Chains A and B, each alone.
Chain A
Amino acid sequence: MYRQGWLGWLFVAPALLLTCVFFLWPLALVGWMSLHNWPLIGRIRWIGIANYRAMLNDPIFLQSVRFTLTYAAAITPTIFVVAMALALLANGDRRFVGLFRTLWFMPTAIGLSTASVLWVWMLNGQVGIFAAIGRALGLVETDIPYLDSGTNAMIAACSMVVWKTAGFNMVLLLVGLQSIPSELHEAARIDGAGAWQNFRHVTLPLMRRTLKLALFLSITGSLLAFDQFYIITRGGPQNGTISMVYWIYNNAFSSFRTGYAAALSLVLLAVVLLASLAQFMLFRDREDA
């Protein structure tokens, strides 16, 4: 409709410029750096694929991959079950339900790092509320030993993440729930289905798309986890909660091995893209069926 097509370039130019300088350039640089011994300070040296070979001899890297995948596998279903329960409670138009929805959604707006600090305080043995409740109930002697074992540390971090993200996932699921025509539930009930059967055979199948979407978001988010492990567990105990991003950060800015960190970044990128691809395939298959 606008005859001077070239004018379009002018409108798109600022966005393109930013993307080229601050996204494409760094992206290309990641690949280039990964082929160098590139200390944060000091001399840069070409070393070919040595950084990639070094990964195989880096026990913490292997552990971080394992841990990140475990974390994604643990947190995703947990968020789901909680969010689904919330969505079922918040579905409908009883009195106050809107208020409840708002309040449950509220932690979503809090930053992950802020929420992590909040939980560090609540989990602390001397000043935290959990230890105080535990002592009052006689469950713990002095403090909550949440850094005693990798499992406990994981539970502590997951509790925070569920608290922060369940409300958002509830909203996503509500969108799906509300798109199911009520006649379907009605029909199922007339056919003699109980509440559970109705949920299992009507609600869940019809929400497949929403569920997969939430699943995808949760998995991608978990693969990039950093704040909660940097702040709440500090990677401990015994390096049991070092995520991939954490290990990249550590190599680049604590060990000053920027080249190696770049190689790790590319592995992370590959993992994230693979996860996206898998999710894409999953979507298509089911849609065709």
Chain B
Amino acid sequence: MKRMIIAAALLAATSLNAHAAEIALWARSRTEGYVTPLVKAFNETHSDKVTLNLIPNEQFVAKLGTAIAGGTPPDLMSIDLIYVPAFARAEQLTDITAQAKALPYFDKLMASHLRLATFEAKLYGVPFSAEGSFLMYNKALFRRAGLDPDKPPQSWGELTAAAEKITALGDGNYGFYFPGNCAGCNVFTFLPAIWADGGDILSEDGQKATLNQPAVAAALAWYHDMWARKLVLPSARTDGGENWTSSPATGKVGMWPGGAFTLAALKRTAPTLDIGVTFIPGAKPGQVASFAGGDSIAIPKGSKNVKLAWEFIQWSFSPEVQVEILAKNGAVPVRTDLADNTYTAQDPRLLIAAKAMAMGRTPYSFVYNDLFNSPQGPFLRMLQKGVFDGDVSGAVRDAQTAFTQIIDTGN
């Protein structure tokens, strides 16, 4: 008891001493590439300080939830845009409608982020970073396999055919790769295939599961076909995301879907790899789709300094930050009026990334984590059962039931 009192006294003393304004920003570790330089730049140009707390991706939601529930929320948080509906509905976020709408470039901000951050006509977050999903391919392998490196596949059938030719090179080369045991990765890269084919997994308001649409089974059957014909690197089945970039980095993978961060990581770890970029195709040529991902930035209720938090947000929208920090570090600017910049001019692939983002879609759900991102969720189970076990109809049936049940209990 005495120790508790001493601890309480110490706590009180430290908070009294803190006159220089300082706020804590939480972000998931995958965003480290641009968040770290961004925070550093802010601290160098401002007298107030932002301290960055990077949480491992898989523990982010758990840590954030416990911190908020424990009464020690961060002052500012950068969270995967898909989680904003859940936190907004739980009344844990500060309403920033007025400030945000006053921004002169408000209508240029990423639409997907704003749609997900709106709850009952109020805005609870704004875009912080953007990631569209797209398909990458190894141009050197394309050449060796007799494929035209400037004509990437336009449909599922063409992709399978290209994968076949690349796999036929032998010597451990495989046509296709995806981290098959990673829920979040495949939400990002596999859902677009379903969308491109005209299907969807949730109703617009996120209140109904629609997995029994034919496009879902068709996309699963397509992946399964490639897997069954051994056109996919075998470790795909068990990769929980760890080898998402290290597998293509070996130069033995023909095609793999990913996002701007995958491209940035590959440019860093495998600079000699000649990577081409194209959209994720649908069943027929001309069909394309993308997942609009990335982070929103929001101010939790209980933030020590809402004013400073908003100042940081507003600063992050400035062209210097959007271009010289985000774009420079391989992320897509969240202001569409800045999508075309010096860095996209240097690397036109980034323009495709930005275009993918602009046409991207995002599911809206209050139980997003349980449905999609959780390693124990029904989305990953469907993928594993359908693609690797080959039981497509069973996988879809189970997923439809599980999705419906989770949505119903979440209400």
In the complex the two chains form, is B376's CB within 8 Å of A237's CB?
no
In the complex the two chains form, is A40's CB within 8 Å of B375's CB?
no
Identify whether the interface residues of B are mostly helix, strand, loop, or mixed.
helix
Residue among A41, A143, A147 with the highest chain B CB neighbour number at 10 A = A41
Cβ of B99 within 8 Å of any chain A Cβ, yes or no, is: no
Given contacts A234-B240, A253-B66, contact A242 B376 (CB under 8 A): yes
B239 → chain A closest CB, angstroms: 9
What are some 11 contacts across the A-B interface (CB < 8 A)? A42-B89, A60-B376, A142-B235, A143-B235, A146-B238, A147-B237, A147-B238, A236-B375, A239-B376, A254-B62, A255-B370
Q: How many A-B residue pairs have CB under 8 A?
A: 68
Cβ of A125 within 8 Å of any chain B Cβ, yes or no, is: yes
B26 → chain A closest CB, angstroms: 15
In the complex the two chains form, is A148's CB within 8 Å of B237's CB?
yes
B291 → chain A closest CB, angstroms: 22
Interface string of A233-252 (1 = CB under 8 A from B): 01111110010000000100
Checking B87, B181, B385, B402 against A236 with a beta-carbon cut-off of 8 angstroms, the contacting residue is B181
| Docked pose: A235 CA to B240 CA in angstroms | 11
List B1-52 residues whose CB lies under 8 Å from chain A: 1
Cβ of A17 within 8 Å of any chain B Cβ, yes or no, is: yes
In the complex the two chains form, is A41's CB within 8 Å of B381's CB?
no
| A59 proximity list for chain B (CB < 8 A) | 402
In the complex the two chains form, is A39's CB within 8 Å of B238's CB?
no
What's the tally of chain A residues with a CB closer than 8 Å to chain B?
A: 30
| A77 proximity list for chain B (CB < 8 A) | none
What's the tally of chain B residues with a CB closer than 8 Å to chain A?
A: 32
Identify whether the interface residues of A are mostly helix, strand, loop, or mixed.
loop
Residue among B90, B91, B369 with the highest chain A CB neighbour number at 10 A = B90
Cβ of A54 within 8 Å of any chain B Cβ, yes or no, is: yes
| B237 proximity list for chain A (CB < 8 A) | 145, 147-148, 237
In the complex the two chains form, is B235's CB within 8 Å of A40's CB?
no
List B388-411 residues whose CB lies under 8 Å from chain A: 402, 405, 409
Given contacts A234-B240, A237-B384, A238-B381, contact A41 B376 (CB under 8 A): no
| Docked pose: A59 CA to B385 CA in angstroms | 16
List B176-213 residues whose CB lies under 8 Å from chain A: 181
A177 → chain B closest CB, angstroms: 42
| A216 proximity list for chain B (CB < 8 A) | none
| Docked pose: A242 CA to B237 CA in angstroms | 18
Given contacts A148-B237, A237-B238, contact A255 B1 (CB under 8 A): no
